[in-house]
Amino acid sequence: MRVMKPLPERRDGGFTVVELVVAMSIFTVILAIFMAGVVSMTKSTVKAQNTSDESAQARKIFQTFDHQLRYADAVNWPNQAADGYWYVDFRTRATVAGAPSECVQFRLNTAERTLERRAWKVAPTVTAPPWSTAASWVGLPPAGTAPFKLEVTSAEHQHQRLTVDLSVSRKSGQPGTRLHSTFVARNTTPMTRTNDPAPSAAVCTEVPRA
């Protein structure tokens, strides 16, 4: 007679509570490290994108002044008007004989943080044209510096020069990209009337700074 041996008792292949706690702790640490890396990478990506966007706006401002002010034959003295915004305007001669000159006016709108532009043809009567946005996220430069500064002709410089000093930042009050460039009005001379800071010497007075 063959005697059957009883099979050994099998243990259930589960985890103990201690093992589960240890495993969950390790997983939590790994997840925290992973999420910290994701957050850091996201912040770096956003910062890089913001810097790129700010640089694009700064380039836009530079190109606008570089393409337009170089042809000016008179640049008015910049100032901060009664509305609290900074203005600068200049006159450009017509390229066609007998055609009227064109005036271009820029305004730094510190409330909307925009650089705005408008233009009109010189005439006895002019209706103030609407403003258009030339660039966004634009603010004042560091404290104590004006955004627009005119240098009149001199023995050293035969043409008027306009220095544009602006800060471009997506977030108000945060450091961003600074534009500090000087542009030369190549059609100005030592005889240009706006070398005189007197209001009576200004050009483009058909449209007030407001």
pLDDT, tens only, 97-132: 889 999 999 999 999 999 999 999 999 999 999 999
Measure the CA–CA gap between 184 and 145, rounded to whole angstroms: 20
Measure the CA–CA gap between 198 and 64, rounded to whole angstroms: 27
pTM of the model: 0.79
What would the pLDDT profile of 153-201 be if each residue is shown by its tens digit? 999 999 999 999 999 999 888 888 999 999 999 999 999 999 999 999 9
Distance of CA 37 to the CA centre of its chain: 30
The SS3 of residue 38 is: helix
φ/ψ of residue 71, rounded to 5: -95, 0
Residue ranges of the domains in the chain?
Answer: 56-201
Band (19; pLDDT cuts 50, 70, 90): confident
